[in-house]
């Protein structure tokens, strides 16, 4: 990737003025979007694989894993954990499947839409040890609040998966909003911190860092 990435541009200069109202609406109503069959199948298959390979291992979820580089690094860094990387893009995921035989045994890369996958994990009673959400699409325009994960109706359910939740972005307002939303819904402290990686964990982190962007992260210890 080239080191000439542009920073997200937005007319928004602080936490979105409608975020609190949106969160309260999402908490006060049940999100009923029907599950797509392919997500049901993907989730069931991934839970079966986990049951076969590492039934009692603590689970790490790498949501929006892209090409799965971070998932592979996490599986190597936590050999006693089982890592599931999820992305909706088959073409991104398949960039790693060529060398699948070399993938760590405690790793699974899954193609699914997280709007369903998170809810299906929740329905299955799954609890996470760690949860990574690295460089999600920022959707920085003012009118795109509901496209950001913390503005989406699935966000309260995603938080219920628990564990240590880490989100990173090159748009500080995304992380500030993420912290605001996580704190409002869980009462767990969350703080937007500047972040300088020793070594890039993902291709987007590498691209943004080598383009000279400041990076930010939130780490929330969920109940
Ligand atoms: C900006 S990329 C970041 C990828 C990777 N984490 C990285 O840092 O290199 C955002 C990723 O989120 C994925 N994504 C967006 N919405 C998704 C959804 N609803 N379900 C699953 N993946 C999604 C996209 O396919 C894309 O790979």
Nearest to 205 by CA among 150, 166, 168, 171: 168
| Residue whose CB lies within 8 A of the most ligand 1 atoms, among 7, 39, 87, for a mutation test | 87
Residues 220 and 164 sit within 8 Å (Cβ to Cβ): yes
The verdict on residue 194 lying in a domain is: yes
* Structural domain includes residue 63: yes
What separation in Å is there between the alpha carbon of 129 and the centre of ligand 1? Answer: 21
Could you tell which of 42, 60, 84, 88 is best to mutate to test the pocket of ligand 1, judged by most ligand atoms within 8 Å of the CB? 88
* Whole-number Cα distances in Å, 25 to 59, 132, 135: 30, 25, 26
Give domain status of residue 6, yes or no: no
Would you say residue 5 lies in a domain?
no
Instruction: Let me know if residue 146 belongs to a domain.
Output: yes
Predicted pLDDT of residue 99: 54
pLDDT for 97: 53
Is the overall model pTM greater than 0.95, yes or no?
yes
Domain assignment present for 27: no
Please give the average per-residue pLDDT across 89-109, as a whole number: 83
Nearest to 100 by CA among 49, 168, 54: 49
Q: What is the pLDDT of residues 25-69, one digit of tens each?
A: 999 999 999 999 999 999 999 999 999 999 999 999 999 999 999
Residue 192 lies inside a defined structural domain of this protein: yes
197 ligand 1 Cβ < 6 A: no
Task: For residue 46, give both structure tokens.
Answer: 């991934």
Residue 25 lies in a domain: no
Contact present, 94 and 125 (Cβ < 8 Å)? no
Give the structural domain span for 147.
59-221
List the CATH number of the domain containing 129. Answer: 3.40.50.150
Tell me: the pLDDT tens digits for 135-167?
Answer: 999 999 999 999 999 999 999 999 999 999 999
Q: How far is C-alpha 139 from the chain's CA centre? A: 15
Count of domains observed in the chain: 1
Is any ligand 1 atom within 6 A of the Cβ of residue 135? yes
């Amino acid at each position: 990737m080239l080191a000439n990435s542009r920073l997200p541009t937005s007319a928004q200069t602080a936490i979105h003025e409608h975020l609190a109202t949106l969160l309260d609406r999402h908490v006060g109503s049940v999100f009923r979007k029907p599950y797509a069959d392919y997500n049901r199948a993907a989730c069931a298959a991934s839970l079966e694989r986990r049951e076969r390979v590492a039934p009692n291992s603590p689970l790490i979820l790498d949501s929006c894993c892209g090409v799965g580089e971070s998932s592979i690094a996490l599986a190597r860094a936590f050999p006693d954990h089982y890592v599931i990387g999820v992305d909706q893009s088959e073409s991104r995921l398949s960039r790693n499947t060529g060398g699948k035989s070399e993938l760590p045994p405690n790793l699974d890369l899954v193609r699914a839409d997280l709007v369903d996958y998170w809810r299906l994990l929740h329905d299955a009673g799954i609890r996470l040890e760690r949860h990574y959400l690295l460089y999600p699409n920022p959707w920085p325009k003012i009118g795109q609040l509901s496209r950001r994960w913390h503005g989406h109706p699935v966000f309260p359910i995603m938080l219920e998966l628990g564990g240590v939740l880490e989100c990173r972005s090159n748009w500080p307002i995304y992380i500030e909003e993420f912290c605001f939303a996580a704190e409002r819904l869980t009462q767990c402290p969350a703080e937007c911190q500047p972040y300088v990686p020793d070594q890039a964990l993902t291709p987007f982190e590498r691209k943004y860092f080598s383009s000279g962007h400041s990076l930010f992260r939130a780490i929330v210890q969920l109940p």
